[in-house]
Amino acid sequence: MRIVVLAGGVGGSRFLLGLRHAVPQAEITVVGNTADDITLFGLRICPDLDTIMYTLGGGIDEQQGWGRAGETFTLREEFAAYGVEPQWFSLGDRDLATHVVRTQMLGAGFPLSQVTEALCARWQPGVRLLPMTDDRVETHIVIASDGDQRRALHFQEWWVRLHAEPEALDIVPVGADEAKPGAGVLEAIDAADLVLLPPSNPVVSIGTILAVPGIREALVETMAPVVGLSPIIGGAPVRGMADKTLAAIGVPATADEVALYYGADLLDGWLVDTRDAASVPTVEAAGIRCREIPLLMTSVSSTAEMALAALGLAAEVER
Protein backbone atom coordinates (compact mmCIF):
# COMPACT_ATOMS: atom_id res chain seq x y z
CA MET A 1 0.00 0.00 0.00
CA ARG A 2 1.30 3.40 -0.98
CA ILE A 3 0.28 6.18 1.38
CA VAL A 4 0.96 9.88 0.90
CA VAL A 5 0.87 12.04 4.04
CA LEU A 6 0.91 15.84 4.02
CA ALA A 7 2.63 16.93 7.21
CA GLY A 8 3.72 19.87 9.32
CA GLY A 9 6.13 19.44 12.21
CA VAL A 10 5.31 18.10 15.66
CA GLY A 11 1.72 16.89 15.04
CA GLY A 12 2.58 15.43 11.66
CA SER A 13 5.58 13.60 13.08
CA ARG A 14 3.66 12.07 15.95
CA PHE A 15 0.97 10.92 13.54
CA LEU A 16 3.60 9.39 11.28
CA LEU A 17 5.07 7.43 14.20
CA GLY A 18 1.64 5.94 14.78
CA LEU A 19 1.01 5.28 11.10
CA ARG A 20 4.36 3.56 10.63
CA HIS A 21 3.55 1.43 13.66
CA ALA A 22 0.06 0.60 12.34
CA VAL A 23 1.10 -0.35 8.81
CA PRO A 24 4.81 -1.23 8.89
CA GLN A 25 4.71 -2.67 5.37
CA ALA A 26 3.20 0.42 3.76
CA GLU A 27 5.30 2.63 1.50
CA ILE A 28 4.85 6.03 3.10
CA THR A 29 5.71 9.23 1.27
CA VAL A 30 5.58 12.40 3.33
CA VAL A 31 5.05 15.75 1.64
CA GLY A 32 6.56 18.11 4.20
CA ASN A 33 5.73 21.75 4.78
CA THR A 34 8.65 24.06 4.02
CA ALA A 35 6.88 27.39 4.51
CA ASP A 36 8.14 27.58 8.12
CA ASP A 37 11.67 27.60 6.75
CA ILE A 38 13.91 30.50 7.63
CA THR A 39 17.49 31.61 7.07
CA LEU A 40 19.24 32.61 10.29
CA PHE A 41 22.97 33.22 10.72
CA GLY A 42 23.23 32.48 7.02
CA LEU A 43 21.99 28.93 7.60
CA ARG A 44 18.89 27.47 5.99
CA ILE A 45 16.62 26.00 8.63
CA CYS A 46 13.71 23.68 7.77
CA PRO A 47 11.96 23.08 11.09
CA ASP A 48 9.16 20.84 9.85
CA LEU A 49 11.32 18.60 7.67
CA ASP A 50 13.82 18.25 10.50
CA THR A 51 11.18 17.49 13.11
CA ILE A 52 9.89 14.67 10.91
CA MET A 53 13.39 13.41 10.18
CA TYR A 54 14.52 13.52 13.82
CA THR A 55 11.26 12.06 15.17
CA LEU A 56 11.12 9.12 12.79
CA GLY A 57 14.91 8.68 12.93
CA GLY A 58 15.03 8.48 16.73
CA GLY A 59 16.91 11.74 17.24
CA ILE A 60 14.13 13.95 18.57
CA ASP A 61 13.93 15.53 22.00
CA GLU A 62 10.84 13.58 23.00
CA GLN A 63 9.88 15.89 25.82
CA GLN A 64 9.44 18.99 23.71
CA GLY A 65 8.62 17.26 20.42
CA TRP A 66 11.17 19.21 18.39
CA GLY A 67 14.94 19.69 18.44
CA ARG A 68 17.55 17.08 19.15
CA ALA A 69 17.88 14.75 22.10
CA GLY A 70 21.04 15.41 24.12
CA GLU A 71 21.24 18.91 22.69
CA THR A 72 23.90 21.45 23.73
CA PHE A 73 23.90 25.20 23.15
CA THR A 74 27.50 26.31 22.81
CA LEU A 75 27.03 28.19 19.57
CA ARG A 76 24.00 30.04 20.88
CA GLU A 77 26.22 31.25 23.74
CA GLU A 78 28.88 32.36 21.27
CA PHE A 79 26.40 34.14 18.99
CA ALA A 80 25.16 36.06 22.02
CA ALA A 81 28.76 36.96 22.93
CA TYR A 82 29.21 38.32 19.40
CA GLY A 83 25.93 40.18 19.80
CA VAL A 84 24.48 38.74 16.61
CA GLU A 85 20.73 38.50 16.19
CA PRO A 86 18.32 36.89 16.49
CA GLN A 87 18.64 35.41 19.93
CA TRP A 88 14.95 34.49 20.19
CA PHE A 89 15.32 31.48 17.91
CA SER A 90 16.89 28.71 19.94
CA LEU A 91 19.43 26.82 17.86
CA GLY A 92 21.11 23.84 19.45
CA ASP A 93 24.54 22.64 18.38
CA ARG A 94 23.38 19.25 17.07
CA ASP A 95 20.49 20.80 15.17
CA LEU A 96 22.82 23.47 13.81
CA ALA A 97 25.07 20.83 12.27
CA THR A 98 22.10 19.74 10.14
CA HIS A 99 21.63 23.33 8.96
CA VAL A 100 25.33 23.69 8.15
CA VAL A 101 25.30 20.54 6.03
CA ARG A 102 22.04 21.59 4.33
CA THR A 103 23.27 25.12 3.63
CA GLN A 104 26.51 23.83 2.16
CA MET A 105 24.62 21.48 -0.17
CA LEU A 106 22.11 24.15 -1.21
CA GLY A 107 25.04 26.49 -1.86
CA ALA A 108 26.60 23.83 -4.05
CA GLY A 109 23.43 23.83 -6.16
CA PHE A 110 21.52 20.79 -4.92
CA PRO A 111 17.74 21.26 -4.68
CA LEU A 112 16.19 20.93 -1.23
CA SER A 113 14.67 17.57 -2.21
CA GLN A 114 18.11 16.08 -2.84
CA VAL A 115 19.52 17.70 0.28
CA THR A 116 16.68 16.22 2.33
CA GLU A 117 17.31 12.81 0.83
CA ALA A 118 21.00 13.08 1.73
CA LEU A 119 20.21 14.07 5.32
CA CYS A 120 17.70 11.21 5.58
CA ALA A 121 20.43 8.78 4.56
CA ARG A 122 21.69 9.23 8.09
CA TRP A 123 18.34 9.25 9.88
CA GLN A 124 16.60 6.44 8.02
CA PRO A 125 13.12 7.70 8.91
CA GLY A 126 11.44 4.73 7.25
CA VAL A 127 9.41 7.06 5.01
CA ARG A 128 10.27 8.96 1.86
CA LEU A 129 10.41 12.60 2.91
CA LEU A 130 9.73 15.11 0.13
CA PRO A 131 9.72 18.89 0.57
CA MET A 132 6.43 20.33 -0.74
CA THR A 133 8.56 22.43 -3.10
CA ASP A 134 12.19 23.00 -4.00
CA ASP A 135 11.41 26.69 -4.32
CA ARG A 136 11.53 29.21 -1.53
CA VAL A 137 8.19 29.77 0.19
CA GLU A 138 7.99 31.55 3.54
CA THR A 139 4.86 32.22 5.51
CA HIS A 140 4.51 35.81 6.61
CA ILE A 141 2.04 37.06 9.18
CA VAL A 142 0.38 40.44 8.80
CA ILE A 143 -0.11 42.25 12.11
CA ALA A 144 -1.19 45.76 13.08
CA SER A 145 1.54 48.30 13.47
CA ASP A 146 1.34 51.97 14.55
CA GLY A 147 -2.06 53.47 13.89
CA ASP A 148 -3.64 52.12 10.74
CA GLN A 149 -0.39 50.66 9.48
CA ARG A 150 0.17 46.95 9.01
CA ARG A 151 3.39 45.09 8.79
CA ALA A 152 4.32 41.57 7.80
CA LEU A 153 6.83 39.45 9.67
CA HIS A 154 8.16 35.95 9.20
CA PHE A 155 5.98 33.27 10.71
CA GLN A 156 8.81 32.19 13.04
CA GLU A 157 9.18 35.68 14.44
CA TRP A 158 5.46 35.87 15.16
CA TRP A 159 5.26 32.31 16.51
CA VAL A 160 8.51 32.00 18.45
CA ARG A 161 9.50 35.54 19.38
CA LEU A 162 6.03 37.03 19.83
CA HIS A 163 4.33 33.80 20.98
CA ALA A 164 1.59 34.45 18.39
CA GLU A 165 0.32 37.26 20.62
CA PRO A 166 -0.24 40.08 18.10
CA GLU A 167 -3.44 39.29 16.24
CA ALA A 168 -2.74 37.81 12.81
CA LEU A 169 -4.70 39.90 10.32
CA ASP A 170 -3.63 37.82 7.37
CA ILE A 171 -1.34 34.91 6.60
CA VAL A 172 0.57 34.96 3.34
CA PRO A 173 2.71 32.08 2.06
CA VAL A 174 5.16 34.38 0.26
CA GLY A 175 6.44 32.77 -2.92
CA ALA A 176 3.82 30.03 -2.99
CA ASP A 177 2.09 31.36 -6.12
CA GLU A 178 5.28 30.94 -8.14
CA ALA A 179 6.44 27.70 -6.51
CA LYS A 180 6.37 24.35 -8.24
CA PRO A 181 5.62 21.08 -6.43
CA GLY A 182 8.83 19.50 -5.15
CA ALA A 183 10.59 16.69 -7.01
CA GLY A 184 8.47 13.55 -6.80
CA VAL A 185 5.46 15.12 -5.08
CA LEU A 186 2.92 14.92 -7.93
CA GLU A 187 4.20 11.49 -8.93
CA ALA A 188 3.73 10.23 -5.37
CA ILE A 189 0.18 11.59 -5.20
CA ASP A 190 -0.56 10.08 -8.60
CA ALA A 191 0.70 6.65 -7.47
CA ALA A 192 -0.92 6.75 -4.03
CA ASP A 193 -3.53 4.28 -2.82
CA LEU A 194 -4.45 6.67 -0.03
CA VAL A 195 -3.74 10.25 1.02
CA LEU A 196 -3.82 11.30 4.68
CA LEU A 197 -3.99 14.74 6.25
CA PRO A 198 -2.80 14.37 9.84
CA PRO A 199 -3.93 16.75 12.56
CA SER A 200 -1.30 19.34 11.60
CA ASN A 201 -2.03 23.06 11.52
CA PRO A 202 -4.57 23.48 8.69
CA VAL A 203 -3.34 26.97 7.79
CA VAL A 204 0.43 27.24 8.20
CA SER A 205 1.28 23.54 7.70
CA ILE A 206 -1.25 21.73 5.50
CA GLY A 207 -2.58 25.01 4.11
CA THR A 208 0.79 26.13 2.77
CA ILE A 209 1.38 22.73 1.16
CA LEU A 210 -2.00 23.08 -0.58
CA ALA A 211 -1.02 26.62 -1.64
CA VAL A 212 1.67 25.30 -3.97
CA PRO A 213 -0.01 25.35 -7.38
CA GLY A 214 -0.64 21.83 -8.59
CA ILE A 215 -0.71 20.02 -5.25
CA ARG A 216 -4.32 20.75 -4.29
CA GLU A 217 -5.38 20.04 -7.88
CA ALA A 218 -3.60 16.67 -7.80
CA LEU A 219 -5.38 15.77 -4.55
CA VAL A 220 -8.75 16.74 -5.99
CA GLU A 221 -8.11 14.68 -9.09
CA THR A 222 -6.56 11.56 -7.58
CA MET A 223 -8.64 8.39 -7.54
CA ALA A 224 -7.19 7.56 -4.14
CA PRO A 225 -9.29 8.46 -1.09
CA VAL A 226 -8.19 11.55 0.82
CA VAL A 227 -8.85 11.31 4.55
CA GLY A 228 -8.10 13.93 7.17
CA LEU A 229 -7.99 14.05 10.96
CA SER A 230 -9.26 17.09 12.79
CA PRO A 231 -6.59 19.16 14.58
CA ILE A 232 -9.36 20.79 16.62
CA ILE A 233 -10.59 18.79 19.59
CA GLY A 234 -13.42 20.06 21.72
CA GLY A 235 -13.29 23.37 19.91
CA ALA A 236 -9.61 24.07 20.61
CA PRO A 237 -6.30 23.06 19.07
CA VAL A 238 -4.57 20.28 20.97
CA ARG A 239 -1.20 21.89 20.59
CA GLY A 240 0.18 24.99 18.96
CA MET A 241 -1.94 27.96 18.14
CA ALA A 242 -4.02 26.68 15.24
CA ASP A 243 -7.03 28.70 16.42
CA LYS A 244 -5.10 31.94 15.96
CA THR A 245 -4.07 31.06 12.44
CA LEU A 246 -7.62 29.94 11.57
CA ALA A 247 -9.04 33.20 12.92
CA ALA A 248 -6.66 35.11 10.63
CA ILE A 249 -8.23 33.56 7.57
CA GLY A 250 -11.78 33.77 8.90
CA VAL A 251 -12.29 30.09 9.66
CA PRO A 252 -13.92 29.24 13.01
CA ALA A 253 -11.82 26.81 15.06
CA THR A 254 -14.19 23.88 15.02
CA ALA A 255 -13.75 20.35 13.75
CA ASP A 256 -16.39 20.79 11.03
CA GLU A 257 -15.26 24.18 9.79
CA VAL A 258 -11.72 22.90 9.22
CA ALA A 259 -13.14 20.11 7.05
CA LEU A 260 -15.20 22.61 5.06
CA TYR A 261 -12.12 24.80 4.71
CA TYR A 262 -10.22 21.90 3.14
CA GLY A 263 -13.29 21.37 0.96
CA ALA A 264 -15.50 18.51 -0.14
CA ASP A 265 -13.72 18.42 -3.51
CA LEU A 266 -10.49 17.56 -1.68
CA LEU A 267 -11.62 15.48 1.30
CA ASP A 268 -13.38 12.15 1.02
CA GLY A 269 -13.28 11.34 4.71
CA TRP A 270 -12.85 13.25 7.98
CA LEU A 271 -12.22 12.02 11.49
CA VAL A 272 -13.32 14.11 14.44
CA ASP A 273 -12.82 13.51 18.12
CA THR A 274 -15.69 11.96 20.11
CA ARG A 275 -16.06 15.34 21.87
CA ASP A 276 -16.92 16.87 18.50
CA ALA A 277 -19.62 14.37 17.58
CA ALA A 278 -21.96 17.30 16.96
CA SER A 279 -19.80 18.22 13.96
CA VAL A 280 -20.46 14.99 12.13
CA PRO A 281 -23.80 15.90 10.48
CA THR A 282 -22.44 19.21 9.12
CA VAL A 283 -19.44 17.49 7.58
CA GLU A 284 -21.53 14.67 6.14
CA ALA A 285 -24.04 17.18 4.74
CA ALA A 286 -21.15 18.70 2.79
CA GLY A 287 -20.52 15.33 1.19
CA ILE A 288 -17.53 14.27 3.30
CA ARG A 289 -17.81 10.93 5.09
CA CYS A 290 -17.24 11.64 8.80
CA ARG A 291 -16.59 9.46 11.84
CA GLU A 292 -15.92 10.24 15.48
CA ILE A 293 -13.12 8.46 17.36
CA PRO A 294 -10.72 9.45 20.16
CA LEU A 295 -8.16 11.69 18.46
CA LEU A 296 -5.59 12.41 21.17
CA MET A 297 -2.10 11.27 20.15
CA THR A 298 -1.07 10.36 23.68
CA SER A 299 1.09 7.38 22.70
CA VAL A 300 2.33 5.60 19.63
CA SER A 301 -0.29 2.90 20.09
CA SER A 302 -3.20 5.32 20.51
CA THR A 303 -1.95 7.18 17.43
CA ALA A 304 -1.69 3.88 15.55
CA GLU A 305 -5.37 3.34 16.40
CA MET A 306 -6.18 6.72 14.85
CA ALA A 307 -4.20 5.81 11.74
CA LEU A 308 -6.06 2.52 11.44
CA ALA A 309 -9.37 4.34 11.80
CA ALA A 310 -8.28 6.64 8.96
CA LEU A 311 -7.43 3.60 6.84
CA GLY A 312 -10.82 2.09 7.69
CA LEU A 313 -12.61 5.27 6.67
CA ALA A 314 -10.58 5.36 3.45
CA ALA A 315 -11.77 1.85 2.60
CA GLU A 316 -15.36 3.01 3.11
CA VAL A 317 -15.02 5.97 0.77
CA GLU A 318 -12.93 4.30 -1.95
CA ARG A 319 -13.82 6.30 -5.06
Side by side, the strands of the sheet bearing 170-174 are 150-154, 138-144, 170-174
Least separation in angstroms between CB 44 and its own copies: 10
Which member of 24, 25, 42, 63 binds its own copies (CB under 8 A)? 42
- Helical packing angle, 74-82 and 93-107, nearest 10°: 70
Reduce the DSSP state of residue 243 to 3 states and report it.
Answer: helix
User: Could you say which DSSP state residue 67 is in?
Assistant: S
Q: Closer CB to its own copies, residue 74 or residue 299?
A: 74
With contacts defined by CB under 8 A, how many residues of the chain interact with its own copies?
25
| Residue 115 near residue 106, CB atoms below 8 Å | yes
d(CA 99, CA 40): 10
Which uninterrupted H or E stretch holds 186? helix 185-191
Look at the chain and count its residues: 319
Q: Segment contacting its own copies (CB under 8 A): 6-14, 24-32, 101-109, 298-306?
A: 101-109
**What is the per-residue burial (b if ≥16 Cβ within 10 Å, else e) of 89-113?**
bebbebbbebbeebbebbeeebbbb
Segment 121 to 140, residues that bind its own copies, using CB under 8 A: 121-122
Which member of 1, 64, 69, 84 binds its own copies (CB under 8 A)? 84
- Residue 246: HSE in the Cβ half-sphere, 13 Å Cα cutoff: 24
Q: Closer CB to its own copies, residue 104 or residue 301?
A: 104
Which uninterrupted H or E stretch holds 139? strand 138-144
Task: Count other Cβ atoms within 10 Å, centred on residue 58.
Answer: 11
Which member of 64, 69, 90, 97 binds its own copies (CB under 8 A)? 97
| Residue 157 near residue 164, CB atoms below 8 Å | no
Least separation in angstroms between CB 60 and its own copies: 15
Segment 44 to 83, residues that bind its own copies, using CB under 8 A: 72, 74-75, 78-79, 81-83
Cis peptide before 86 (omega within 30 of 0): yes
Which member of 93, 193, 217, 265 binds its own copies (CB under 8 A)? 93
Instruction: Work out whether 104 is an interface residue with its own copies (CB under 8 A).
Output: yes
Q: Closer CB to its own copies, residue 105 or residue 211?
A: 105
Instruction: Work out whether 98 is an interface residue with its own copies (CB under 8 A).
Output: yes
Q: Closer CB to its own copies, residue 107 or residue 287?
A: 107
Binding pattern for the stretch 136-165 against its own copies, x by CB under 8 A and - elsewhere:
------------------------------
Q: Closer CB to its own copies, residue 74 or residue 274?
A: 74
Instruction: Work out whether 293 is an interface residue with its own copies (CB under 8 A).
Output: no
d(CA 4, CA 28): 6
Q: Closer CB to its own copies, residue 60 or residue 179?
A: 60
Least separation in angstroms between CB 148 and its own copies: 33
Site for its own copies, rule CB under 8 A = 41-43, 72, 74-75, 78-79, 81-84, 93-94, 96-98, 100-101, 103-104, 107, 119, 121-122
